Amino acid sequence: MKVLIIGGGGREHAIAWKLAQSPYADKILCAPGNAGIAQVAECIAVDPEDPQALAALARAERPDLVVVGSEVPLARGVTDLIEAEGIPVFGPNKKCAQLEASKSFTKAFLARHGIPTARYREFTDKSELLAHIGLFGFPMVLKADGLAAGKGVVLAADAETARQAIEEMMGERVFGSAGDRIVVEECLIGVEASMLCFVDGSGIFPMESAQDYKRIRDHDEGPNTGGMGTYSPSLVIDDVLMAQIKDRILTPTFAGFKADGLDFRGVLFVGLMLTADGPKVIEFNNRFGDPETQSVLPRLRTDLLEVFRAACENRLSTLSLEWSEKRAVTVVLASGGYPGSYEKGKVISGLDETDPDVIIFHAGTKNGENSEILTAGGRVLGVTAIGATHEEARRKAYERVKKIHFEGVQYRTDIGVVYEQKN
């Protein structure tokens, strides 16, 4: 089979790496890919956020299957365009993609189907919202309705901060039309966890759990990032909690998809807050997490291409997903200055050494002119180590991380450490 992957980050490298292990994968293409993906796939320079260009690529290459990595092309309807060419796509259609692309759509879905989440109210009028500062108390959770590259959520500690955030979103329109509607939520207290699920018309099938570390610095300090590291399985989700998540969240979500005519095929990523009242949904994403995928897929024993094919044929329920008992830890190496502005083009050294228990997933990298590998993004690499125990995986990951260098490199030293709640 010929597979086309859309994207060029660490998540897409993990997907390409895993697909390359399938005996059915004859050829893997990736648009646009990166220097690491180029080791397992043919990279094609097409804008991964331009659905028309991607559909043209699919028409020209006629892959047997397309896998979409990120939310932006999904929200822009790339699945509908490629499916119209008669090519199966693993990734939800435009209607379903609203589950990530519109917070308001998701909150209404959760409310309609009685799925636990924070109380909320939405506003489209700035003065009306300004008159409701402190609704549900402080911190006041303000969410731009649309996609905002992970930056659209503000937890305002006081009235002045809330006012500023509202001015930026609705007055200055820093997120464009994404901020024209704002969802205000009650602030949930607890520990966060991510649950990724494969979904098709036959059911919703959770993958092994993972924990993400969103802040840039150790001890969960500093600004939010796309994710600075993960480990799997989560040490905060036990069997009792997993049963609750299935009963109260996953099962009603799937029933809601059926009731609302949402023909979801792809990954549903459930962001959870584990509160004193039980697990509650913070958000849905409709694609694999980055860097959750880098810790989860190396533990999957089942052929990933078979999973994707099954999902496209609505027969996931006939597969049984098998997982390794081993533990995985992923540490992200980022450019100096990230998540703010940073320089690119730094030479990366220390990538050559191989170890069967360590995988180096590339995110923002590219090949230089003299076969060197250069930094090309904020998050540059994810070093994933597998171990018999969580501690062993953590130790191996950091041993390998310390051998990699580029100017300005920064990484957290506490990936895998379990903290109490922080809000």
Q: Which residues contact ligand AMP by CB under 6 A?
A: 118, 141, 153, 155, 185, 187-188, 192, 214, 271, 282-283
Question: Is residue 83 a contact residue for ligand GLY (CB under 6 A)?
Answer: no
Give me the least distance between CB of 212 and ligand GLY, in Å please.
5
Nearest approach in angstroms of CB 174 to ligand AMP is 16
Q: Which of residues 278-337 bind ligand GLY (CB under 6 A)?
A: 285, 289-290, 292
83 binds, among ligand AMP, ligand GLY, none (CB under 5 to 8 A by kind): none
CB of 328 to ligand GLY, least distance (A): 15
Q: Burial level of 78, CB count in 10 A (0-12/13-18/19+)? A: buried
Residue 282 binding partner per list ligand GLY, ligand AMP, none, with a CB distance cut-off of 5 to 8 Å that depends on partner kind? ligand AMP
x/- string (CB under 6 A) for ligand GLY, residues 202-221?
----------x---------
In whole angstroms, the minimum distance from the beta carbon of 246 to ligand GLY comes to 21
CA dihedral 353, 12, 294, 16 (to 10 degrees): -60
Q: Which of the choices ligand GLY, ligand AMP, none does residue 153 contact, using the CB cut-off of 5 to 8 A by kind?
A: ligand AMP
Smallest gap from residue 156 Cβ to ligand GLY (A): 21
Min dist CB 63 to ligand AMP, Å, is 31
Q: Which of 291, 379, 278, 367 is nearest to 33 (CA)?
A: 367
CB 48 within 8 A of CB 8: yes
> 174: how many CB neighbours lie within 10 A of its CB?
16
* CB of residue 71 to ligand GLY, shortest distance in Å: 8
Complex with ligand GLY: residue 92 or 227, whichever CB lies closer: 227
Using CB under 6 A as the binding rule, whether residue 365 contacts ligand GLY is answered as no
Q: Which is nearer to ligand GLY, 94 or 151 (CB)?
A: 151
Of 253 and 293, which has the nearer Cβ to ligand GLY? 293
Q: For residue 102, give Cα distances in angstroms to 46, 98, 217.
A: 26, 5, 29
Residue number with the shortest CB distance to ligand AMP?
283
- The nearer residue to ligand GLY, 88 or 279, going by C-beta atoms, is 279
Least spacing, CB of residue 201 vs ligand AMP, in Å: 27
Q: Could you say which residues in the range 261-280 bind ligand GLY, by CB under 6 A?
A: none
Question: What tokens were used for 46?
Answer: 């097409």
Can residue 227 be called a binding residue for ligand GLY (CB under 6 A)? yes
* Nearer to ligand GLY among residue 36 and residue 291 (C-beta): 291
Give which of ligand AMP, ligand GLY, none residue 118 binds (C-beta under 5 to 8 Å, depending on kind). Answer: ligand AMP
Burial class of 95 by CB neighbour count within 10 A (0 to 12, 13 to 18, 19+): middle
| 58 vs 363 by CB, closer to ligand GLY | 363
* Six-digit token string for 150: 């992970």
Residue 64 · residue 1 · CB < 8 Å = yes
Question: Of 287 and 362, which CB lies nearer to ligand AMP in the complex structure?
Answer: 287
* Residues 328/283, Cβ–Cβ less than 8 Å: no
Cis-peptide, bond into residue 233, ω within 30° of zero: yes
Instruction: Determine the straight-line distance between the first and last CA of the chain, rounded to whole angstroms.
Output: 47
Q: If binding is defined by CB under 6 A, does position 9 make contact with ligand GLY?
A: no
Q: How far is the CB of 227 from ligand AMP (least distance, A)?
A: 10
Binding site residues, ligand GLY, CB under 6 A: 212, 226-227, 285, 289-290, 292
